[in-house]
Amino acid sequence: MAEKIFKGGEYLIADVACEDVFTPEDFSDEQRQFAETTEQFVENEIVPHIEEIDKQNFDLVVAGMQKCGELGLLMMDAPEEYGGLELDKASSMLVAEKVSQGGSFSVAYAAHTGIGTLPLIYYGTHEQKEKYLEKIISGEWCAAYCLTEPGSGSDALGAQASAVLSEDGKHYILNGTKQYITNGGFAELFTVFAKIDKEHFTAFLVEKSFEGLVVGAEEKKMGIKGSSTTQIILDNCKVPVENLLGEIGKGHKIAFNVLNVGRFKLGAGVTGASKMALVEGIKYANERKQFNTQISKFGAIKEKVADLTAAIYASESLVYRLAGLLDDKLATIDKGIDNYYEEYQKGIEEFAPECGISKVFCSEVLAQTVDEVVQIHGGYGFCSEYPAERYYRDERINRIFEGTNEINRLLIPGMILRKAMKGELPLQAEAMKAFESLMTPSFEEIDDSVLFAAEKALIKNIKTLFLILAGTGVQKFMDKIAEEQEILMAAADIAIQIFAIESAVLRAEKCFAKVSEKKQELLKAAVKVFTFTATEAIGTAARKGAFYVEEGDTLTMILSGCRRFAKYDATGLLAAKRLLAEVACEEEKYLFG
C-alpha cells in the first residue's frame, strides 16, 4: 500500500513519486499464479474453439463459464461470506487482461463478472445474495445487465421501461424493451432498470424464467460474433417485490457506479488484446518476405512495431497504476461497518475520471494496434483466414462499450471540474499559479544526470498547460462549461495523455535499478517513443482548445504557452524506435510483460 492516498483527479496538480504507483512488476506470487491459471485455461479451453464460438455455439461459451467457475475466476470480487475470494482490483484486472485473449468469450466473461455480478454484490440484500450469488460465481448461471434501450443509449436516464406495483402488492409488472444485452441469449439472471410509475429509476433482479420475459433474436454484428447480444423484451413481466435491487429511485447509482468498474476492467482487457495482436503482427512480419527480405527489417514496419510497443507499455502502466489507486483507497475502508459497500462504491467513484481515462486511452491503443497489424499483413490482413481480420472487427466495439469514448471524454474533465467546485481539489488556486507561470519567463535547466529528467520536466509543464486551458474555459463559461463539449473534449485529451505519460515514466523509474542494462535501454526507448507521440497529441489538443476559448492578445499568450509547455526534446528518437523494434522482432513478444 502506498504511503499517500491520492484523490481522483489529483494527479493533475500533485507531484507523484514512483514509490506511490503500483506497477506490473509489483505483482505478488499469488497474483502471478492467478494470471498463469487464467492464461492456461484460455489457451487450452477457449482458443482451440474460437472459430466455433464465433459461429455462435453458445454451449461452448456456457461450458467455458462453468470451467471459469471451477477455477475461481468468477468469484474474485465476491465477498468471502458468500463463497467469494474478495481479491484486490489488481488481481481482478490481471485476470481480465488474460481472459481477453479468448476473443468473443472474453466479452461474455467481462459482462458476467462485471456489470452482471457487481450490482448484486454491491447493492443486494443478504437474502438476494443468498439466493443468487452462489449460482453466479460458480458458473451455474450466467448474468446480464439491461440498461440500454432502443431510444436511450448514452442518455441512460431517458429509459422508457416501466414498472408498476401489482394490485396485490406482491409483484412489480415491468414493460419495455432493452437493447444490446450481452449474454442475453443464455443468461439466467438479469439486472433490469425501469421507472416505477414512469418516474423513479430503479433496478430489479429478473430471472429468465419469470413470466413475461422474452429473449429477442441474436443481433447480426460486425465483430465479437461469438458473444450473445439480444433484446430483452418485458411484456407484463412479473417480478417479486423482494427482487427490487437497492432503493426505489436510486437506480442511477447502481448504473453509473457499476459502469465505473466496467470501464477500468475494459482498460485491462483491451490491453491484453493489444499485446496479443502486436505479437501476431510481429510474427507475420518475420515470416513475410518482399524483395528477398523479411518485412520486419524495413524501417516502415519497424516504426509501427516500435510505436505500438511503446503505446502498449503506457496502456499497461496506466491500467495497473489505476488498480493501485483503487486498492489503496479501498483498503482504508473498515469491512466491519454496516454500510461497507456504500463506502466501497464511494471509493471507486472517487476515481471515476481515471476509470474513464483507462477506458478511452486503452481502447484507442487497441484500435491503433489492430489497424497497424492489418496493415503489416497487407492484403492477407483483410482475409478471414488470418486472425488480424478478426482482431480488427472485434476491436471496434470497445470504443462504444461502457459509455462511448465521446461520452467518457466529456465526463473526465466534467467530473474533475465538479470536484474543484465542491472544494475537493484546489484546482482554482493551482490554475492561478499556472497563469502566473504563463507570464513569467522560465530559465529552468534540465539536469541530465537525473533519470527521466526531461520527461519529468515535461509532465510538470503539461499539467500547467491543462490548468491554464481548464481555468480559462471555466472563467469564460462558468457553470455553462458543461455545454461546451468541444472544449471539454480538448481538455480531456490533455488530461488523458498526462496520466498516460506520467504512468509510463513512473513505472520505468520504479523498476529501472532492478533490471539488466539491456532492459534499462528498452525502458528508456519506450518512454521516449511514447512521450514524443503523446506530447504531440497534447500540443494539438491544447492549440485547438486555445482557439476554442480565446481570441486576441489572450489567445496569443496562451498559444505561446502551448509552444513552451508542450515542448519535449526527443533527441535519439529514431535510435529508440529501432532498438524497440529490433528486439521485439527478434524475441517475437511484447517486451515488458
- Catalytic residue ranges: 402
277 and 348 Cβ atoms separated by less than 8 Å: no
Would you tell me the crossing angle of helices 251-287 and 89-99 to the nearest 10 degrees?
Answer: 50
Give the Cα separation of 102 and 90 in Å (integer): 20
CA 480, 459, 306, 540 dihedral sign is positive
Exposure of 569 in the CB half-sphere (CA atoms within 13 A): 9
In 3-state terms the chain splits into helix, strand, coil percentages (rounded to 5) of 65, 10, 25
Question: Cα 218 to chain center, whole Å?
Answer: 26
C-alpha cell of 188? Answer: 439466467
| CA-based torsion, 188, 191, 194, 196: positive or negative | positive
Contact 315, 274 (CB under 8 A): yes
Q: Are 307 and 529 in contact (CB under 8 A)?
A: yes
- CA–CA distance, 95 with 32 (Å, rounded to integer): 10
Nearest to 360 by CA among 414, 418, 415, 410: 410
Beta strands of 15-170 (E only): which ranges?
A: 143-146, 162-165
Q: How many helices (H) and strands (E) does the chain have?
A: 19, 10
Maximal CA-CA distance, the chain: 81
242: CB partners within 8 A, 6+ apart: 127, 128
Do 56 and 226 touch, CB atoms closer than 8 A? Answer: yes
In the block, which residue shows the cell 491544447?
542
Q: What are phi and psi of 234, to 5 degrees?
A: -105, 105
All three cell numbers of 241, joined, read 417485490
In angstroms, the CA 349 to CA 440 distance is 37
**Within a 10 A sphere around the Cβ of 421, how many other Cβ atoms?**
12
CA dihedral (528, 529, 531, 536) in degrees, to 10, reads 130
Backbone angles phi, psi at 167, to 5 degrees: -60, -35
DSSP track, 340-381? HHHHHHHHHHHTHHHHHHHHHHHHHHHHHHHHHHHHHHGGGG
Q: Give me the torsion for CA of 211, 214, 215, 217, rounded to 10°.
A: 160
